[in-house]
Amino acid sequence: MASTVISQSALFSLPKTCQFRKKKPFSFVSKRAVSCKANSGKENKDESSSSSSSSLGSFDRRDVLLGLGSLYGATNLVADPFALAAPIFAPDLSQCGDANVPLRKSPGTNVSVHCCPPVSTNIIDFKPPRFTKTRTRQPAHLVSPDYVENFKEAIKRMKALDEKDPRSFTQQAKVHCAYCNSAYEQMGFPSQDLQVHNSWLFFPFHRLYLYFFERILGKLIGDPDFALPFWNWDDPGGMTIPDIYVDPLSPLYDAKRNPKHQPPVVMVQGTTTTTLFHGKEYRMGYSTDPGAGIIENGIHLSLHKWVGDPNQPLKEDLGNFYSAGYDPLFYAHHANIDRMWNLWKTKLPLPHCDFKDTDWLGSSFLFYDENANLVRARVGDCIDTKTLGYDYKDVDLKWLENECGSTRKTIGKAKNPLPGTRNAFPLVLDKLVRVDVPVTKKSRNVVGEEDNGEQVVILQDIQLERDSSVKFDVCINVTDDKKTIGPGHPEFVGSFTNIPHGHHHHGSKLNTQLSLSISNAFKGLQLEDEAKVVVTLVPKEGEGLVSVGNIKMDHIRD
C-alpha cells in the first residue's frame, strides 16, 4: 500500500511561490514550514499549535503510526524524512457506525442515523486524470436552458440509481452525513471522532466531495465536460436561491427549505493569513473542532441555517449537516465556497498560499468515483482546481473593493465607543455584552504593505452544548446600542455560528475558539493609536447557551 505521506511529486507540483524546502524530520513538538514568500527563507509561525489538543503524547502517537503496519505503509513512514508526521488518515469503512444527530427540540437527546457507505476492500489511490479540456463552473442564475435540462437529467438519473449503488443520490448525500456527524473514528485513535468541519480540512474535503459528485453526474449523462453550477450569492444578481432550484416538479427541487426567508446580507471577508482562512490545524489524535476559518464560520454556516426549514424536526435539509446533501442546492452552495478558496489565492491583493504542512497535505478521505471504484484522495491532490480539470467563470467581484486591505476606504475615527459592561470571565451570552480589550504593543503593529499579517480578535474557550443552535455577532467600538450593526458596517467583524452536530466520544460539550480579522476595521475606524477597543458580543440565537472564556487582541502572520 502507498504511504500516507504526500509524495515529493505532489509537493512540488505546488506553485513555486508556495513550495517549501525539505528539512530535518518533523516531530509532534515542532512543525516547521517555509513562508509563502519566494526565497525568503523565513519560516511560518504556527499560531494555532498551542490551542490544539491531542489525546496522546508524542511518543505514543509515533507508536500508533508504527502500529498501523501494512495497512498504511508504516515501514515507509519510518524511512521517510517526514516519519513523525500525523496526517488524518482516511477512515476504515468497515468500522463505520451510525451517525449521531442531536434532536433540536429535545436538548441532550440524540438520534442515530445510518449514513455508512458500501464497503469495498479494494482501495485505489487517486490520480487526477489528464484532462484535455477545462470544465467551467458557471453561476447558477446565468446558465443556459440547455444546461438546465442536462443538469436536471443528470440528477434525475442519479436519483434513479439503486440506493445501494455508491453513486446514487442517497449514497452521495450520506457521504456528508458520515464525515460530519461522527460515523467514523480516527484511524488508530478509537477515542477520537473524525470530523471535517471546524478545522483546516473543511475546504479540501468539500472540494474533493464535489469533484467526485460532479464526475458521477457527467458519467451518467455521457458528458465528460459537465460541470456543476455555483450559487453566486456574493453578487447581488445571484443572491436569491437560483430559479433552477425552485420548480417543485424539477429533480433540483427540495421541499425542506425555509419558505419565508429573503436573501441574507452577505459579507465576504479576505484575510492574508492561512490559518484565519482555512481554520486551525487538525492532526491525528487531536480532538475535533479546533476552530473554523472565516468563510466556514461565516457565510458558509449562515446560508446553511438560512435555507434549512425551521419546521422540520432537525431543521432539514440544509440546516443540518446530516441531511444537507439531500438538497441539490447544497452542491451549488459549496461550489461557491470552493470558488472562495480560488479567489483567495488568485484575486485578492497580496500573495495567499495554502499550508505547506505535510500533515495537511497528507490527510486523506475515501470517495466512490464515477466508475463505482473506492478511491483514496489526499488534500495534496486538490490544491489546484485545474489539476482536477475545472475552473470558475470570471464574474464581477463587487465586494472586493470594500473588503480587501489597502482598497478599503477610511470612514473616519470612531468617537466615544460605549463602555464595557463586563470584564469578568467566563462571559455567559444571555444578553448583549461589551468588553474592554487592551491593545498590546505587539498587537499595535498594524498591517502595512510589507507586513503580510492580520490584526485579530481572539475569543478563547467558547463553550456550548454541541446540540445547541447558537449564533452571536462580534463588533468593535460600537457608539450606539440602538443602531443595528451587521455586514457592511465597519464595526462588524464577524459571527460565531454552531449548527447542532453530534459526537460519540467527546460528550455533549463543545470547546472551541474563534479568530477574526479586524485589520480593515482598525483602518476604517482609525484605531491604530488606541490603547484598548471595546468588543461587543450580540446574541442572535441561543441566548444564554454559550459562554466565552477570554477575549484578547493579537497580530499574527504566516
Which one is catalytic: 304, 352, 501, 555? 304
Beta strands, E only, 327-425: 364-368, 374-378, 390-392
- Helical segments of 452-540, H only: 519-524
Clarify whether 304 is annotated catalytic.
yes
Clarify whether 300 is annotated catalytic.
yes
204 near 146, Cβ under 8 Å?
A: no
Asked if omega into 317 is within 30° of 0 (cis), the reply is: yes
Clarify whether 489 is annotated catalytic.
no
> Is 155 in a helix, a strand, or coil?
helix
Which one is catalytic: 141, 205, 206, 277? 206
> Is 545 in a helix, a strand, or coil?
coil
Give, for 209, the enclosing helix (H) or strand (E): helix 202-220
pLDDT at 451: 54
Which one is catalytic: 28, 202, 321, 496? 321
Clarify whether 501 is annotated catalytic.
no
Which one is catalytic: 334, 501, 506, 555? 334
CA distance 204 to 17: 20
Clarify whether 278 is annotated catalytic.
no
Clarify whether 352 is annotated catalytic.
no
Q: pLDDT (tens digit, 0 to 9) for every residue of the chain, 558 residues total?
A: 333 333 323 332 344 445 443 333 333 233 333 334 333 333 333 443 334 444 433 335 445 444 443 344 433 333 343 345 699 999 999 999 998 787 655 555 678 889 999 999 899 999 999 999 999 999 999 999 999 999 999 999 999 999 999 999 999 999 999 999 889 999 989 889 999 999 999 999 999 999 999 999 999 999 999 999 999 999 888 888 999 999 999 999 999 999 887 555 566 666 778 999 999 999 999 999 999 999 999 889 989 999 999 899 888 999 999 999 999 999 999 999 999 999 999 887 666 889 999 999 999 999 999 999 999 999 999 999 999 999 999 998 877 765 544 334 444 555 677 887 777 899 999 999 999 999 876 655 554 444 557 889 999 999 998 888 899 999 999 988 777 888 878 899 999 999 877 666 555 788 999 999 888 888 888 887 788 899 999 999 999 999 999 999 998 877
CA distance 126 to 128: 6
Residue 466: all three cell numbers together: 454541541
Which one is catalytic: 82, 89, 126, 176? 176
Q: Hey, which residues does 475 pair with through a beta bridge?
A: 492, 536
pLDDT at 482: 76
Which one is catalytic: 126, 151, 189, 197? 197
Amino acid type, 231: W
Clarify whether 277 is annotated catalytic.
no
pLDDT at 443: 59
What percent helix, strand, coil does the chain show, rounded to 5? 30, 20, 55
Which one is catalytic: 300, 333, 352, 555? 300
